[in-house]
Structure 1
């Protein structure tokens, strides 16, 4: 459920906002175009939104300008940072532990879904179909188009001496784009994927009637 990363979340809570604005050279390419990408996410949202892994609340703040939001975040440190930005009660939960009695139109997550293993990703998507029945799923995250693309990124990070980034890339569960697409399509979504920078892809999935849970 990604909770093995709670100690890392505690550290990131203090550094995340500086990192996304380009103050850490190792992660500059990961967050290239960050503000533009968040705005593009909001343009894809419809109706009432549930956000998973809201972190320090950067996307949440933008969503709240246009939509009703249920925000879910497991890290108390991240929630504390977000609370300084937002007038919002953030749910203490995660991708697999969340309010299941809500009616939502869009599920969204940015820079967080990779904290789940592929099996946990599949379980999460099945759970959302069963409990939330949201017709829209919007995901922004680091993904790899192929094994070759992944190897190229790892080689690039190593060649540049980006040891912290390289550790992250080897430790966390960054998926292949075709894996995410297959997971969503198996649950009745039509999927579009757009690469936004060297690392990050935007996934927009629209629910079709009569989808099969898998």
Structure 2
């Protein structure tokens, strides 16, 4: 996971067991990337490495980068023959080294979006491309409303910071273009995403939003989690199944400067 999520403890085993949709739904993004044999491609925010491996299957030469030691450890265990680096995206050391940068479900964790865009531009070769998908404006709106409502009852006026941001097309395109990355395509779309099992929402909150609950005394964490789940039940639980109200921003950009 990216640098603004470093203080979140990532559980790779839970991530792989309960949240495989993160990489399974991104296989179409690999098609948009269209890796060519011999291309050097950076997988930014690679997590446990499954999409890095998909890029390698196309005979490109990928490098997976993530700032989570737990995720990089899992990636190296999953794919010992591939290259993975533990590094913050905004401080990655690459200079004109990659034909493409690929990123799925990671850039919305990177709050220093300008610093990351600058690092991406620096890493790309001239005319290199960025293919990415992240949470876009309005992503998990219902979930965040429930979290904010429950948090207000426990934290008052000082809730934990969200640690994510979900930009509009115009906002993110402006950031990229300010660093010489010309946006050629951008699309913001709803993608309600099924969550596995009766405990699907609880599992999702534990994996991705536990930082809302972690500062609470041990006895209150589970109570606050249960309150959040119950607040969401009328909105995101239908016919015995949970879903997350995802909105995704998918874009393609080219280094022109």
TM-score band, normalised by the shorter chain? 0.7 to 0.9
How many residues are aligned here? 187
Q: State the TM-score, normalized to the length of structure 2.
A: 0.62
Deviations 1:110-131 (A, max 9, x none): 11111222xx211221233234
Unaligned runs of 5+ residues in structure 2 are 152-158, 192-245
The structure 1 residue matched to 2:83, chosen from 71, 89, 101, is 89
Q: Distance in 2 between matches of 1:4 and 1:188?
A: 22
Which structure has the highest strand share of the two? 2
Report the counterpart of residue 54 of structure 1 in structure 2.
46
Deviation, 1:177, is 2.4
Deviation of the 1:105 alpha carbon: 0.7
Deviates more, 1:87-96 or 1:125-134: 125-134
3-state DSSP of counterpart to 1:180: helix
Structure 1: how far apart are the matches of 2:160 and 2:40?
33
> Structure 1 unaligned runs (5+)?
23-30
After superposition, where does 1:160-199 map in structure 2 within 5 Å? 170-186=162-178, 187-194=180-187, 195=189, 197=191, 198-199=246-247
Q: Give the superposed CA RMSD.
A: 3.2
The equivalent residue for 2:105 is: 111
Tell me what 2:62 maps to.
69
Matches within 5 A, 1:98-177: 98-101=92-95, 103-117=97-111, 120-133=112-125, 135-144=128-137, 149=138, 153-155=140-142, 158=145, 170-177=162-169
Larger Rg: 2
